[in-house]
Structure 1
Amino acid sequence: MENKKKVAFYTLGCKLNFSETSTIARNFQDEGFDRVDFEDAADIYVINTCSVTENADKQFKQVVKKALKKNDKAFVAAVGCYAQLKPEQLAAVDGVDLVLGATEKFKLTDYINDLSKNDMGEVHSCEISEADFYVGSYSIGDRTRAFLKVQDGCDYKCTYCTIPLARGISRSDTLQNVLNNASEISQKGIKEIVLTGVNIGDYGKGEFGNKKHEHTFYELVQALDEVEGIERLRISSIEPNLLKNETIDFVSKSRTFVPHFHIPLQSGSNEILKLMRRRYMREVYTERVAKTREVMPHACIGVDVIVGFPGETDEHFLETYNYLNSMDISYLHVFTYSERDNTPAAEMDGVVPMNVRSKRSKMLRGLSVKKRRAFYEAQLGSTRTVLFEGENKEGYIHGFTENYVKVKTPWNPELVNTLHEIKLTKIDDDGIVRMEFVKEPVFLG
């Protein structure tokens, strides 16, 4: 057993990537490999890439360098979105041995018979139209929560986005398979599951891209609510046009779904939304937020927004800023637009200078801080349930309430991965909320 090969993983990008890395890692463990931390010396390093972040290229090179510092003879494989979009570019990076596209990444162990270094990375990619089958996956990031993939790919044609090019058409896991995975996760003692995918509201499209929905997202939510042993379910991100009133109503009364929605807006200007080819206008977004607030006044509502899209004038940006400022939302994820090859937006007129993009981004980040603070202040004095996480941060243990308020209390290892009823008392200097237990926890020593 001493000769077990060691494999380490590094994930760039989204929660979906994390869930897929975990699945690939489990495949390696099933094949008898020993999984080690990326910081350790390994025989194989697998890097799961992302095409959404700026400088994807630069980040990737840094990670490869880091791996080869640990072991200059290690075999380096790249998988994921960037590997699908720019395989030749990644293969040319010094030290990379293998690049696998969208259809091949889950068969990585089949390609690793010979671990000798290659002069040039070997590429196995596909036309993205071949990515028409579904591979279910979930990740256990820490002991407290897991990311469960329920859907992959996207049929939307947003003009700035490469995800359909990197991940193919929208397709979903079967309902039974999702329930089996959820049940498997809950048996590992994990308390919270975050549903993830590229466009999860489109859940239910058949495996081979048939456009008919076998099940709807609403049916998925109803079925998951019945799974034994899960304490909490969280919907990661859902398009406003696909977040239906029936789902919002169901979550408000649900046993396990928490009052937290992350709803991408991208722009508060209808003109810009049209240029982006989003599938809704601002009015739909306003309705979704109003509906959520009506049935769950204490819900947390997060918003994605892009600044500096081609054609976004100062007026358009102020329209977005004022709209978001007027909305009862809880925080923003701000993305600075960056050009992507093979997207219509990259060819559009009205390019916004980089310094203007940065300035707008800074303004919205400032607004996000203000919104989060106001949301936290509105929660003070209320009683919530917190799930504690596993890290000792400067003498404190942190956790999140069901409605995504970050709280802290003095470190106690026995609190890790436990749920407690608490009262939110005050916001600390670092912006995290202090709390007191409604009932002092009893530990069975």
Structure 2
Amino acid sequence: MDTRKRVAFYTLGCKLNFSETSTIARNFTDEGFDRVDFSESADIYVINTCSVTENADKRFKTIVKQAQKANPEAFVAAVGCYAQLKPEELVAVDGVDLVLGATEKFKITDYINDLSKNDHGEVHSCEIEEADFYVGSYAVGDRTRAFLKVQDGCDYKCTYCTIPLARGISRSDTLTNVLKNASEIAAQDIKEIVLTGVNIGDYGKGEFGNKKHEHTFLELVIALDKVDGIERLRISSIEPNLLKNETIDVVANSRAFVPHFHIPLQSGSNEILGLMRRRYRKELYVDRVTKIKEVMPHACIGVDVIVGFPGETDAHFLETYNFLNELDISYLHVFTYSERDNTTAATMEGVVPKNVRSKRSKMLRGLSVKKRRAFYESQLGTRRTVLFEGENKEGYIHGFTENYVKVKAPWNPELVNTLHHVDLTKIDDDGMVRFDFVSTFVHHT
């Protein structure tokens, strides 16, 4: 009879959370657990939580119920950002046995002894100042790409954000360890690595609050570009004030880094950026976009923007809308502002009614569709390289070009995790791009 215990994981939130779930899962495997899907019966369910959106907070209870339905006797543990910020709220949810904060989550197997359910859940959380050490991690999301964590925490004090409270000070992995992890990923025949962190442009700050940069983000990019076996490297998200001209130039001339940048803006109004305590103004943002397009005219640029921040008038919003409309960017990630406990913004005057926030959000999402369409149209007639993904979606296989144009072709399992040169020909009704095959892509050497 098989006595091995089964463990299942559910991840809410960002790519960084996914990479950390993978590390925690490997710890369980090392301890002799078998990993199963979250929908299956398991002995322990681990939920990695997020606190960035209101929705993520609410979904937690639903996910706990899902675990209990699969196995009412299972041990349920919560880790992650929400677990650090509001452990008492999580432990009060019916069925939750263990809540671990920022420093404890990577030691979860130490806390799980007999897996017996208690009448009351346990909380092990720290003062966030204690989260001053770094744990490296990476996630293999599917066979085609991996998320590699290079940095954690944030020293910025944006007025709307709880991440410094949930993850602590900015600290980084050593360059040696990042390169070791990248080589491990490459050895698994994974073609693309996405660099993740809370504030990756701040890469290089050591452990224990050492503010001296051992290495810079630029040095990291140069070193990773030389790792054998990686076809593509993608920078997930980087603050505009930390994206230097030298880094843009290196990416433009790189072997493996792709021409795709995701740069948070948050507002196109300098007055609102000031209230948010962002470390740049919109003029610097224009400089970044202009520089990228100068050296990589075909680059894809994604933008984060928050609508409905306290004090945002109709005039401020129109300033943001017009700013983005005129900017040579490719798509938007639109976030509707939601109040967070223990943030300065939660007590600010000029609260924007929820229905107005919703209307502004809808307008910007419409602008994003228009921007993406215009970017895709600009790429028709060009030759690009596509990495095909592993899922059969209604008879089609999807993939992304190096500059993040989403393409589709009739399902063919032989295309999974392969790179091909293609000519982009037309945009389908669903917004994806059709193409003509040119050749199978030859690996970088």
TM-score category, normalised to shorter length: over 0.9
Rounded Cα–Cα distance in structure 2 between residues aligned with 1:54 and 1:366: 22
Q: Equivalents in 2 of 1:379, 1:142: separation in Å?
A: 27
User: How many angstroms apart in 2 are the aligned matches of 1:275 and 1:317?
Assistant: 14
Note the 1:8-407 alignment, pairs <5 A: 8-407=8-407
- Counterpart CA distance in 1 for 2:53 and 2:405 is 26
Q: Measured at CA, do residues 191 and 441 of structure 1 come closer, stay the same or move farther in structure 2, by a change above 3 Å?
A: closer
One-letter amino acid matched to 1:254: S
C-alpha distance in 1 between matches for 2:153 and 2:302: 22
Cα distance in structure 1, aligned partners of 2:428 and 2:208: 51
Q: Is the 8 A contact 2:19 2:139 kept in 1?
A: yes
Q: Is the 8 A contact 2:384 2:402 kept in 1?
A: yes
Partner AA of 2:36 in structure 1: V
Quote how far apart the aligned CAs of 1:118 are. Answer: 1.5
- State the TM-score, normalizing by the size of structure 2: 0.98
Conservation of the 8 A alpha-carbon contact between 2:421 and 2:440: no
Q: How far 1:330 moved relative to its partner? A: 0.2
Q: Which amino acid aligns with 1:338?
A: S
Displacement after TM superposition at 1:55 (Å): 3.0
Query: How many angstroms does 1:87 deviate by?
Result: 0.2
Q: Which moved further from structure 2: 208-217 or 81-90?
A: 208-217
8 A Cα contact 2:419 2:441, kept in partner:
no
- One-letter code of the match for 1:24? I
Q: Distance in 2 between matches of 1:402 and 1:209?
A: 36
Cα displacement (A) at 1:209:
1.4
Counterpart CA distance in 2 for 1:84 and 1:60 is 14
In structure 2, the CA distance between the partners of 1:114 and 1:356, relative to structure 1 (3 Å rule), is: same
Distance in 2 separating the partners of 1:353 and 1:40: 42
Question: Structure 1 residues 422, 43: CA separation in 2 closer, same or farther (over 3 Å shift)?
Answer: same
Q: Following the alignment from structure 1 to structure 2, what is the Cα–Cα distance between the partners of residues 13 and 53?
A: 8
Residue in 2 aligned with 1:7? 7
Deviation at 1:8, TM superposition (A): 0.2
Shift, 1:425, TM fit: 0.7
SS of aligned partner of 2:123: strand
CA RMSD of aligned residues (A): 1.0
Q: What code does the residue aligned with 1:310 have?
A: P
Instruction: Quote how far apart the aligned CAs of 1:440 are.
Output: 6.8
Residues in 1 aligned to 2:107 and 2:297: alpha-carbon distance in whole angstroms: 46
* Structure 2 counterpart of 1:436: 436
In the TM superposition, what is the alpha-carbon distance from 1:278 to its structure 2 partner? Answer: 0.1
Which one-letter code corresponds to 2:142 in the other structure?
D
Distance 1:440 1:123 in 2: 53
CA drift at 1:241:
0.1
AA partner of residue 241 (structure 2): N
Inter-partner Cα distance in structure 1 for 2:119 and 2:300? 51
TM-score by length of 1: 0.98
C-alpha displacement at 1:49, in angstroms? 0.1
Shift of 1:441: 8.7
Q: Distance in 2 between matches of 1:263 and 1:16?
A: 16
| Distance 1:131-1:440 versus aligned 2 partners, 3 A rule | closer
- 1:296-337 Cα distance to aligned partner (Å, 9 max, x none): 000000000000000000000000000000000000000000
1:126 is matched by which residue type in structure 2? C
- SS of the counterpart of 2:241? coil
Deviation track 1:73-96 (CA, whole Å, cap 9, x = no partner) reads: 000000000000000000000000
How far the C-alpha of 1:58 sits from its partner, in A, is: 1.6
Q: Identity of aligned pairs, percent?
A: 85
8 Å contact 2:426–2:435 — kept in the other structure? yes
Q: CA deviation at 1:120?
A: 1.7
Q: Secondary structure of 2:303's match?
A: strand
Q: Distance in 2 between matches of 1:53 and 1:75?
A: 26
State which drifts further: 44-53 or 113-122. 113-122
Q: How many residues align?
A: 442
Q: Structure 1 residues 331 and 126, CA, compared in 2 at 3 Å: closer, same or farther?
A: same
Q: Distance in 2 between matches of 1:246 and 1:196?
A: 20
Unpaired stretches in structure 2, ≥5 consecutive residues? none
2:422: which partner in 1? 422
1:10 and 1:56 map into 2 onto residues whose CA distance is 12
CA contact (8 A) 2:419 2:440 kept: no
Counterpart of 2:3 in 1: which secondary structure? coil
Structure 2 residue matching 1:301: 3-state secondary structure: strand
Deviation at 1:439, TM superposition (A): 2.6
1:138 alignment partner AA: Y
Task: Letter of the 2:149 partner, please give it.
Answer: K
Find the aligned partners of 2:53 and 2:191 in 1 and give their Cα distance.
Answer: 30
Q: C-alpha offsets along residues 207-258 of structure 1, whole Å, 9 cap, x if unaligned?
A: 1111110000000000000000000000000000000000000000000000
User: How far apart, CA to CA, are the structure 2 residues paired with 1:224 and 1:338?
Assistant: 37
Show structure 1 runs of 5+ residues with no match.
Answer: none
Q: What SS does the aligned partner of 1:439 have?
A: strand
- Report the residue type matching 2:424 in the other structure: L
Look up the SS of the partner of 1:67 in the other structure.
helix
1:121 deviation in Å? 1.4
- Could you tell me how far 1:56 is from its partner in structure 2? 2.9
